[in-house]
Structure 1
Amino acid sequence: MDTTLDLSSDLLSLTRALCDLPSVSGDERALADAIETALSRYTHLEVLRDGDAVVARTNLGRSSRVVVAGHIDTVPIADNLPTRLVGEGAQAELWGRGTVDMKAGVAVQLALAAELNEPTRDVTWVFYDHEEVAAELNGLGRIVREHPDWVAGDFAILGEPTNGGIEGGCNGTLRAEVRLTGVAAHSARAWLGSNAIHAAGEVLRRLEAYTPREVEVDGLVYRESLNAVLVSGGMAANVIPDSCVVTVNYRFAPSASVEQASAHVRELFDGYDVEIVDAAPGARPGLDDPAAQEFTRAVLAITGGAPAAKYGWTDVARFSELGVPAVNFGPGDPLLAHKQDERCVVGQITLVHAALRDWLSA
C-alpha cells in the first residue's frame, strides 16, 4: 500500500488516502510516519515526534498561538475499507472507517498546515495516537505530561466531528464496576449456593429507574447518561456463579468534578461494592473567553447555526485542565462515528477547511 501523502492534493483525495491507510488504535505507526514525512517537507514548520504522535508548528513571533489537534487512530475496521464515494458534488458522501471519526478533520488540519505559511496567529498542529482506547494511553495526554510546551497556546480547536458546527466543552466520563458476590454450588443443588448473577437484578433495576439529568452550564445544556455497558459472571454452565460484575458508564455534565460524579454513582448503588476503574473530567464550554468568542463569530459567519454542547468526552478536557479554552469543530456527523455505515458529507470537509483557513488568515 502506498503510504505517501500529498498535502497539496484536493481534500477528498487526501481524506481518502488517510482513511485507506488503516490505523486502528495501537497500529498508528505507518500513518504517523507518513504524516511526519509529509510535514517535514515544509520549511515553515517545525516538526516534532513523540511515539506515534506528530506535532508541527509555526514560529513566526505572532501575538497569539492556536493549537489545532486531532487523533489519527480509529476503532476497529468493520469491513468498511477501502473508502467509497457515493453521489456527486458537495452532497456526495465518503463512506468508510475513519471518515467521520476523525480523518476528515485530520485532512483539514494537514492541508492547512501545508498551505498556511504566513498565518496571522502562530499555529501548533497536533496529530496524536491512542484516542479510542483507555485514557492512560492517549497520545495527547502523553504529550501534555511529557512535553507541555508543545501544546502551549491561547486557544485550542479539536477537530472532532460536529457536523461542521461549534460544540463547546464536553461531558465527563466515568466507568465503575459494581461487584456482586454469592456462593458457588452445583446447579443440580442450587439451594446450597447463592447466585451472584441473580443478585445483579437490583443493580439493573436501579439503572432502569434512573432518570438522566439535563444540566445547564454557561448557557449550554448537557444531557447526562448512566448505563450498564457490560455484565460478566459465571464459570461453567453447571455451576451456580459466586461472582458477577456490572460495569456502568456515567457521562456527567462538566459542572461536576470526577469526585462529585463518583459520589453520585456510589450513592445510587449504596449497599454495593463499587469500584471506580476509569474516569476523566469534562470541560466547561469556555465560550466566554475572548479568543473563543472571536473564533465563534468568524466561523458561524460562514457555517451558520449556534454553539451547542458536546455530549461525548473529547480531548478538549485536556486543554481545559491546562487553562486553555478549547472547542470542538470538525466535519462529520458524530452520530455516525464508530458505525459500520460511517460516512462524511464531502461539502462539510470543504466548509470546515474554508472557515478555519479564513480565520487563521484574517
Structure 2
Amino acid sequence: MPALDLHADPVELTAALVDIPSESRDESLIADAVEAALRTQTTGFEIVRQGNRVLARTDRGLGSRVILAGHLDTVPVAGNLPHRRTVDDAEGDVLHGCGTVDMKSGDAVFLHLAATLENPAHDLTLIFYDCEEIAAEFNGLGTIERELPQWLAGDVAILGEPTAGQIEAGCQGTLRVRLSATGTRAHSARAWMGDNAIHKLGDVLTTLADYRPRWVDIDGCEYREGLSAVGIGGGVAGNVVPDAAFVDVNFRFAPDRSIETALEHVRAVFAGPLSTGAVTMELTDSASGALPGLSHPAAAALVAAASGRFRAKYGWTDVSRFSALGIPAVNLGPGDPSLAHRVDERVPVAQIREVTDLLRAYLS
C-alpha cells in the first residue's frame, strides 16, 4: 500500500495521490492509503471506513462544524500517469497527471490541513468518497447520505472541486426531456401517403433557436440559464418517410428553481408544439441545484477569508446534496475546471499552496 505523508508539502502530497490509480469503482487502494494516513498522522479524529469511503471528524465542542468533502475517483487514465512536473515561462511551475485538477489537489489540501492545523476555530468533518465521476446512483456521498446521514451535519460544507482557487457558490440544476413525434412510414417517392415525424419537430427547433435564457442574481452570484438541444434522432432509410423522431433537450437552471418549477417552465416554453398533440414530452433525468447561501455567517466568513472572491458555479456538483439538507455549500479547490478530464490535465503548483493558505486562515 502506498504511504502518504500528510505533513509534507501539499504539492508533494498531491503528486503522491495522483500516482495511485483510482478510476471509478477501483478506489480501494487510495482509500486504504488515506485511511492509514489519517489513523497514524492525525489526532482527535473519529475515523470510519465504509466501503471505499473514509470519514473523519473531531468533537472538540467548538460550536461550529465545517465539512471538507472530496471524491477519490478519477476518470479513466489516458496515458497521463505517473505525474510529471514542469517549469517554464508560459505556465510556471505545474503538476501534470490524471486527477491533478479533478480533484486530488483538493483532497491533498484537506488531508494536509487535517494533520497540520494547530488552532482550529471549528470542529471538522472530512469525507473522502468514491464513484463521483459515474452515474449518480453509485455516488459515494449519496451512499453516506442514505446510510450515515449524521456525518453530513454541519454549518458549512466545502467541496474540493476545481475552481482555480476562487469560491464557486451553489450550482445549477439540470434536467433533460425528450420531445418525441410519431407519424406514418411511406416511400419518399409517395411522400403524401405518409406522415413525416421529423417535420413535426420543426416547431421545437424553432422554439429553441428563439429562446432567451434568464440571468438571475442570488447572493451576488449571477447564474445564467440555458435550454439546449443535446441530441436528435429519427429516420429509417434514404428513401423512407420516417414514422418516429425525437429531440433531447437539456435545461440548466438557476438554483432558485426546483426541479418541479423548472419542468413547468420547460412545458410552458414548448406549449405550442405540445398543444397540437403531435409532440409529446417526457422527463428523462434531473438533479436539483444548490443555493449559494453566502449570507450564512459561516459561509460569509469563508468569503472574507477569500478576500471577497466568489462567483456562481456553472454545472452541477455535490454541493446540491448539502444545500438540500439546509447546509450552505461552496466549491473551492485548485485547478482550472476546464482542464478536468483532459489528457493534458494539470494544476499550477502555486494554486495548491494558495488554497491551503486560504483554508488554513479560515479554519484557524
**How does the TM-score come out when normalised to structure 1?**
0.88
Query: 1:356 aligned to 351, 356, 359, which one?
Result: 359
User: What's 2:313 paired with?
Assistant: 310
The offset of 1:194, in angstroms, is: 4.2
Q: Deviations over 1:166-222 (max 9, x none)?
A: 122111111222223233456777665544445444433322222222111132211
**What is the CA–CA distance in structure 1 between the aligned matches of 2:318 and 2:2, rounded to whole Å?**
27
Task: Letter of the 2:33 partner, please give it.
Answer: A
Give, in angstroms, the shift of residue 95 of structure 1. Answer: 2.3
Residue in 2 that maps onto 1:22: 21
Residue in structure 2 matched with residue 336 of structure 1 by the alignment: 339
SS where residue 317 of structure 2 aligns?
coil
Seen in structure 2, the aligned counterparts of structure 1 residues 274 and 21 have a Cα distance that, compared at 3 Å, is farther
Task: Mark the CA change 1:182 to 1:311 in structure 2 (over 3 Å): closer, same or farther.
Answer: same
Deviation at 1:24, TM superposition (A): 2.7
Unaligned runs of 5+ in 2: none
State the superposition RMSD in angstroms.
2.6
Aligned partner (choices 291, 303, 317) of residue 296 of structure 1: 303
* Counterpart pick for 2:285 among 278, 288, 291: 278
Structure 2 match to 1:114: 115
Summarize the Cα distance change of 1:13–1:183 in structure 2 as closer, same or farther, 3 Å threshold: farther
In the alignment, the residues of structure 2 paired with residue 135 and residue 199 of structure 1 have an alpha-carbon distance, to the nearest angstrom, of 34
In structure 2, relative to structure 1, the CA distance for the partners of 1:83 and 1:124 (3 Å cut) is same
In the alignment, residue 9 of structure 1 is paired with which amino acid?
Answer: A
Look up the equivalent residue of 2:115 and give its one-letter code: A
Q: Answer whether contact 1:135 1:280 (CA < 8 A) is retained.
A: no
Q: Aligned residues, how many?
A: 356
Distance in 2 separating the partners of 1:26 and 1:47: 22
1:233 Cα shift?
A: 4.2
Question: By how many angstroms is 1:77 displaced?
Answer: 3.3
Which string of whole-angstrom CA distances, capped at 9 and with x for unpartnered residues, describes residues 318-360 of structure 1?
A: 1111111122211111222233332211100011011112222
Contact 1:230 1:248 in 2 (8 A): yes
* Contact 1:44 1:117 survives alignment (8 Å): no
What does residue 209 of structure 2 align with?
208
Mapping 1:1-362, distance limit 5 Å: 3-41=2-40, 42-87=42-87, 91-116=92-117, 119-184=120-185, 193-233=194-234, 241-270=242-271, 271=274, 272-300=279-307, 306-361=309-364
Secondary structure of the corresponding residue to residue 142 of structure 2: helix
Question: Structure 2 CA distance, aligned partners of 1:239 and 1:19?
Answer: 53
Give the Cα separation in 2 of the matches to 1:193 and 1:8. 72
Distance 1:158 1:179, change over 3 A: same
- 1:12 counterpart letter in structure 2: V
SS at match of 1:227: strand
- Counterpart AA for 1:341: D
* AA at the equivalent of 1:316: V
Q: Separation in 2 of the partners of 1:355 and 1:314?
A: 21
For 2:191 and 2:39, how far apart are their aligned partners in 1?
67
SS of residue paired to 1:308: strand
Q: Is the alpha carbon distance of 1:80 and 1:184 closer, same or farther for their aligned partners in structure 2, counting shifts above 3 Å?
A: farther
Secondary structure of the residue aligned to 1:104 is helix
- Contact 1:175–1:249 at 8 Å: present in 2 too? yes
Q: One-letter code of the match for 2:213?
A: P
CA contact (8 A) 2:301 2:362 kept: no
Matched residues in 2 for 1:40 and 1:258: separation? 41
SS in 1 for 2:31: helix
Residue identity opposite 1:350 in structure 2: R
- How big is each residue's C-alpha offset from its partner over 1:245-268, in whole Å with a ceiling of 9 and x where there is no partner? 322221111111111111111222
Q: Which moved more, 1:220-229 or 1:197-206?
A: 197-206
Q: Among the aligned pairs, what percent are the same residue? A: 56
Distance 1:307 1:164 in 2: 10
Structure 1 runs not aligned, ≥5 long:
none
Distance in 1, Cα, partners of 2:77 & 2:268:
39
Per the normalisation by structure 2, the TM-score is 0.88
In 2, the alpha carbon distance for the partners of 1:194 and 1:28 equals: 52
Q: Deviations over 1:44-66 (max 9, x none)?
A: 32211233221111222222111
- Counterpart residue type for residue 136 of structure 1: E
Whichever residue aligns with residue 69 of structure 2, its letter is A
**1: distance between equivalents of 2:179 and 2:22?**
34
Tell me the secondary structure at the aligned position of residue 37 of structure 2: helix
Q: Output the amino acid matched with 1:337.
A: A
Cα deviation for residue 238 of structure 1 reads: 7.1
The alignment partner of 1:47 has SS state of strand
